Amino acid sequence: MGNRNDHPGEQTAQDPIRLLAVRDAPLSVDEILAAVGDDAAGGTALFVGTVRDHDGGVDVASLGYSCHPTAEVEMRRIAEGVAAKFPVRALAAVHRVGDLRVGDLAVVAAVACAHRGEAFDACRQLIDDLKREVPIWKHQTFADGTEEWVGA
């Protein structure tokens, strides 16, 4: 019997990046999960970022995201880096822009790999790098009338 890593399902897919987008419409977890569906994946890790009702101990009254025109190009660069570092079968990420309400989905990312540990690690790397490097900025207005830009 050969080494289990010899099986094509144990390797990185030829084109694992299935969906990357910045949208001004509501996001769908089902769409992201469908995009990363892969028969050779034994584990799929999903991250869903939602708008919460507070930040730093202060109530959030409103929130909006905006982005630089290169945001999707940067998302692709990051996704390619994650796919190069981990044995990714499939990867998808979508970020929302525009005005959002508490409970709205702000970002959804998923990674499918042959094994759960790889999927968890790759998804964590993906979302951390997206938040740190993609030029998407959050403008929060608080209930007390103050406001702040995050990521700008």
**Beta strands 58-67 and 43-50, pairing class:** unpaired
Per-10-residue mean pLDDT of the chain, 152 residues long, equals 60 85 98 97 97 94 96 98 97 98 96 97 98 96 93 71
Per-residue model confidence (pLDDT) at position 117: 98
DSSP state of 144: T
3-state secondary structure of 146: coil
Per-residue model confidence (pLDDT) at position 151: 80
Name the pTM for this structure: 0.90
Per-residue model confidence (pLDDT) at position 14: 81
C-alpha–C-alpha distance, residues 59 and 150, integer Å:
16
